[in-house]
Amino acid sequence: MSPWHGTTIIGVKKAGKTVIAGDGQVSMGNTVMKPNARKVRRLGAKDENGEGKVIAGFAGATADAFTLFERLEKKLEQYSGQLLRAAVELAKDWRTDKYLRNLEALMIVADKDTLLVLTGNGDVLEPEGGPESQITAIGSGGNYALAAARGIDDYEEDAERIARRAMAVAADICVFTNDRVTVETI
């Protein structure tokens, strides 16, 4: 296991809007190495505003995550922007490729229709819930963020507000999570 530890990434899909938010803290042991890393990005083909049609956030080793972002982007090109197909193919490669198998990261990826968690075990997981509301979270503060988001999901309609509030709760509890949040919305 890498000494690089922790982060919090949350994905919220609600009322036709999907949000991925992540904190900016990079820690090594008990030391904050960088407080403002950007762990949430846009990928894939561009929309009419020139932005990627897929959003992705990672928890884990940074170099490993960048490798996975690049691989996912190639899979999106190969499969004409079909996120689910690209994610399944990436997960297959991640599990079977000797080099990729050693990568230490988790990812949340989303497009306008789909919200998924990708793991190095070859898992492509769709969060529970239906088209009206889905929430998932990863990283050392992921369970705190997930619990907070689920706690307000019935009372809040805005996906971004849910994600931001959940990140604030995680930052208050998890020492490996800070309040410098990056948010991407589709």
Cβ atoms of 67 and 28 within 8 Å: the answer is no
Distance CA(106)–CA(43), nearest Å, equals 16
Q: Are 65 and 101 in contact (CB under 8 A)?
A: no
Q: At 5, which helix (H) or strand (E)?
A: strand 4-5
Token couple for 30:
């008990």
Is 7 one of the annotated active-site residues of the chain?
A: yes
Phi, psi of 82 (to 5 degrees): -75, 100
Do residues 135 and 106 make contact, with C-beta atoms less than 8 angstroms apart? no
Quickly tell me which residue has 């990708």 as its tokens: 118
Widest pairwise Cα distance in the chain: 46
Q: Which residues contact 121 (CB under 8 A, 6 or more apart)?
A: 95
CA distance 115 to 49: 21
**Active-site residues: which are they?**
7
